[in-house]
């Protein structure tokens, strides 16, 4: 196979940003970007994206859970498919890059293949998922999970805050009825690639345009309830106090310390409640949330035990009771070593220097493919590490370099495929 003409990063960046600007106009809130899953604006984004897919030589369909699927055939009938994509839905008052970047970049790559009249030894399936942000319904990643062959009909009964069920929303959206996971063609899929904004400050801090993802971190979430003894702020001497808030503060600092001292672990206490708290009362009850993540599940489990022990220690010393509930857990999803290597080589050929490998602290559609097919991810630098915010920004230059890297990765996969066959 002679390789198709590779588009320049500048060319790719310009074309992609123009389309991102267009998608940014599609919103359910004037002056803001709000495109919740299965909303009227999500539908309009699907319609526009469908037109782009057709222009790029793809056939399209919408699956039972609202994922727009565009297919660009391979050189021969029955050729395997490479999946590339991200999501079109957004949070409320979102930025213009989160999700849409990965969809638009994938279409742009196919458009260039089609323009140069080349077919690869595999087809390309562009996936525009529609349920990544999890703002409207309880469950999230339902579209990518279904494409990965995992579908739980219970999600259809989930209701949004207006009482509309997901089943009704899917019907109104124009989705065909049936089991979306029936579409799964894992045996014929080479892998899944996703390009996404970093949503963190690492690449910017190191002045790098892009990075290759090693894994999507696993997460444990829970809460801790500390019970001491309420008392009068004036009449209870310090030595006789069982202050639940002071104890919780010590616990929070201990958890922070554990995370600081452990490379590859992050821990966050994002909520703290002092029920019935008053300026002149020693707090008797406190609750705080806990979220800790790592790309190593072993490290995360060990951290959970250390956190538990630290909390128990502090509770004993301060004569309070502490109950830690770790109720939610999602394992880490490792990116495929082969795809990571190809992406890293493609990145280094594009940016002409060693590429940064980093893990993803946020969840992404790619993790739905864990244990199903190999997947790889790439990040583009985010200004101020900001996302889910109207000021979210990645430059046209960085986007161009990332898309060129993705294009190179696809070509490298095609070459490898040719060699193997």
Q: Does residue 363 bind Zn ion (CB under 5 A)?
A: no
What minimum distance in Å lies between the beta carbon of 99 and Zn ion? 4
| DSSP reduced 3-state for 114 | helix
Q: Rounded to an integer, what distance in angstroms lies between the CA atom of residue 133 and that of residue 384? A: 21
* Gap between the Cα atoms of 405 and 345, Å rounded: 9
Tokens of 370: 């864990």
Looking at beta carbons only, is 98 or 336 nearer to Zn ion? Answer: 98
The token duo for 52 is 């782009």
Based on the shown chain and the rule CB under 5 A, indicate whether residue 131 belongs to the binding site for Zn ion: no
In the complex with Zn ion, the residue whose CB is nearer, 387 or 409, is: 387
Minimum distance of Zn ion from residue 148's CB (angstroms): 17
Region of 4-12, 98-106, 136-144, 243-251 interacting with Zn ion (CB under 5 A): 98-106
98 vs 243 by CB, closer to Zn ion:
98
Neighbouring C-beta atoms of residue 162, cutoff 10 Å: 7
* CB closer to Zn ion out of 9 and 99: 99
Q: What are phi and psi of 41, to 5 degrees?
A: -70, -35
Rounded CA gap, 172 and 186, in Å? 29
CB of 64 to Zn ion, least distance (A): 22
* Residue 151 DSSP code: -
Segment interacting with Zn ion, rule: CB under 5 A, options 90-98, 250-258, 288-296, 404-412: 90-98
Q: Name every residue whose Cβ is closer than 8 Å to that of residue 11 and which is 6 or more positions away in sequence.
A: 400
27/40 Cα distance (integer angstroms): 8
Q: Which stretch binds Zn ion (CB under 5 A): 44-52, 97-105, 225-233, 296-304?
A: 97-105
The span from the CA of 373 to the CA of 375, in Å, is 6
Regarding 365 and contact with Zn ion (CB under 5 A), the answer is: no
99 binds Zn ion (CB under 5 A): yes
Closest contact distance (angstroms) between CB of 98 and Zn ion is 4
Q: Is 102 a binder of Zn ion (CB under 5 A)?
A: no
- Closer residue to Zn ion in complex, CB, 42/112: 42
98 binds Zn ion (CB under 5 A): yes
110/70 Cα distance (integer angstroms) = 10
Rounded CA gap, 356 and 210, in Å? 7
Which single residue brings its beta carbon nearest to Zn ion?
Answer: 99
Alpha-helical regions (H) of 71-165: 100-115, 142-147
Binding span for Zn ion by CB under 5 A among 16-24, 91-99, 160-168, 337-345: 91-99
- Piece of 52-60, 92-100, 134-142, 289-297 that binds Zn ion (CB under 5 A): 92-100
Q: How far is the CB of 362 from Zn ion (least distance, A)?
A: 7
CA pseudo-torsion sign 270, 276, 279, 280: negative
To Zn ion, the closest distance from the beta carbon of 379 in angstroms equals: 11
* Residue 222 main-chain phi, psi, to 5 deg: -175, -160
Q: How far is the CB of 194 from Zn ion (least distance, A)?
A: 9
Q: Which residues bind Zn ion (CB under 5 A)?
A: 98-99
């Amino acid at each position: 196979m002679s390789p198709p003409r590779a588009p320049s990063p500048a060319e790719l960046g310009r074309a992609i940003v123009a389309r991102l600007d267009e998608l940014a106009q599609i919103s359910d809130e004037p002056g803001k970007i709000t495109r919740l899953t299965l909303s009227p604006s999500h539908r309009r984004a699907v319609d526009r994206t469908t037109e782009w897919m057709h222009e790029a030589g793809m056939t399209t369909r919408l699956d039972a859970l609202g994922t727009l699927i565009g297919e660009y055939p391979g050189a021969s009938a029955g050729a395997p498919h490479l999946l590339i994509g991200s999501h079109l839905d957004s949070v409320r008052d979102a930025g213009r890059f989160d999700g849409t970047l990965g969809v638009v970049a994938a279409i742009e790559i196919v458009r260039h293949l089609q323009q140069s009249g080349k077919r690869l030894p595999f087809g390309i399936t562009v996936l525009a998922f529609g349920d990544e942000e999890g703002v409207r319904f309880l469950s999230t990643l339902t579209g990518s999970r279904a494409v990965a062959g995992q579908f739980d009909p219970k999600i259809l009964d989930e209701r949004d805050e207006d009482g509309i069920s997901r089943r009704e929303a899917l019907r109104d959206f124009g989705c065909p009825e049936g089991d979306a996971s029936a579409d799964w063609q894992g045996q014929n899929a080479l892998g899944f690639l996703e390009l996404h904004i970093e949503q963190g400050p690492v690449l910017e801090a190191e002045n790098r345009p892009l990075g290759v993802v090693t894994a999507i971190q696993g997460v444990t979430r829970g809460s801790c309830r500390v019970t001491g003894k309420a008392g009068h702020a004036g009449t209870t001497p310090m030595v006789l106090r069982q202050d639940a808030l002071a104890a919780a503060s010590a616990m929070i600092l201990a958890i922070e310390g554990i995370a600081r001292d452990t490379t590859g672990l992050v821990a966050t206490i994002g909520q703290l409640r002092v029920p019935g708290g008053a300026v002149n009362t020693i707090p008797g009850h406190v609750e705080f949330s806990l979220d800790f993540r790592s790309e190593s599940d072993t490290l995360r489990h060990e951290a959970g035990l250390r956190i538990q022990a630290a909390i128990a220690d502090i509770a004993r010393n301060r004569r309070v009771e502490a109950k830690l509930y770790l109720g939610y857990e999602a394992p880490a999803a490792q990116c495929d070593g082969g795809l990571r290597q190809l992406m890293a080589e493609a990145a280094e050929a594009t940016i002409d220097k060693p590429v940064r490998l980093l893990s993803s602290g946020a969840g992404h559609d790619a993790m739905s493919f864990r244990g199903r097919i190999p997947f790889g991810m790439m990040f583009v630098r985010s200004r101020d590490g900001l996302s889910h915010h109207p000021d979210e920004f990645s430059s046209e230059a960085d986007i161009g370099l990332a898309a060129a890297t993705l294009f190179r990765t696809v070509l490298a996969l095609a070459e490898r495929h040719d060699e193997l066959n």
